Amino acid sequence: MTVWRPADREIDAVLEAVAHAIRATIAPGAPVQSPPPSADGIREVQLDDGRIVRTKLFAQEMKQEHRGARTVLIYAVGGSAVVDRDGYAVSGQAVLDIVTRAFLDVDCHLEAVGAVTP
pLDDT at residue number 60? 96
pLDDT at residue number 1? 53
Of 11, 12, 33, 23, the closest CA to residue 105 belongs to 23
pLDDT at residue number 9? 73
The residues that bridge with 76 in the sheet, in sequence order, are 60, 93
Q: Would you list the domain boundaries of the chain?
A: 13-115
Mean pLDDT for back-to-back runs of 10 residues, the chain (118 residues): 69 91 86 78 92 95 92 96 95 94 92 88
pLDDT at residue number 68? 87
